[in-house]
Amino acid sequence: MKRKYNVLIVDDEFLARKLLSEYVSKVDFLQLVDTCPDATKAMEVLNNEHVDILLLDIQMPDISGMEMLRLLNDKPAVILTTAFSEYAVDAFSLGVVDYLLKPFDYARFLQAINKAVSLNLSASENISETANDYMMVKADYKLYKINFDDLLFIEGQHEYVTFHTKAKRITALYSLKNLEDILPKDKFVRVHKSFIVSIKNIEDIDKVNVTVSGNKIPVGASYRDALIERLS
């Protein structure tokens, strides 16, 4: 059975939400999680539900779609739906999958969805194996064995992550959130929306940074208390 991908629709216009819901219902591998009229409600859903694809409007009251993107620690695959073309450059710099200009038809919608699903599948296949003391990572047409004892920290860069080991750096298409879920909790800890670090390689921590084998890594305010607790 083909996997179903969870979709969240965020748009302040009722008719836009209705049309997108109809489009989603036509695709047998999509499942609608919810529809939200604003970013605040959407972020509540994202905190409580697993979402694979986010269909996001830009022009919304209080918090715009672009502002919402910057607030999210872990983004699903994001497809922007908007009547304004001037945000495209900034949007792609934030790692969105596609940019749909309203009005768009079902064929264009499906093209964007297939792109999001393709990226999702590619990323999930790049971690081919994990064990108690290592993981196998696909990158640059090679398969790398990364021993957890050698892994210093992992840096998220939009849809890519870079594994910083004692000997090299390896960049692969993957989600930092998914890595957080599969890495052993007794060996690694999330310290920032863009960083996971090796606990045993932490040398010190101050108000804004943690030092890992000589590397200064920023500590996000929302992660600091949990980090201190893990190190106590």
Residue 71: per-residue pLDDT: 86
pLDDT in tens, 121-166: 555 555 545 667 888 888 877 888 999 999 999 998 877 889 999 9
- As beta bridge partners, residue 14 has none
CA distances from 91 to 21, 85, 98, 219 (A): 23, 10, 9, 25
Same domain, 120 and 81: yes
pLDDT in tens, 86-129: 888 888 888 888 999 999 999 999 999 998 887 765 555 555 45
Q: Show the domain range for 67.
A: 5-124
pLDDT in tens, 18-29: 999 999 999 999
Chain centroid, CA 117 distance in Å: 14
Same domain, 150 and 217: yes
Question: How many domains are contained in the chain?
Answer: 2
42, pLDDT greater than 90: yes
Give the predicted TM-score (pTM) of the model.
0.60
Percent of the chain past pLDDT 70, that is, above it, reads: 94
Same domain, 133 and 63: no
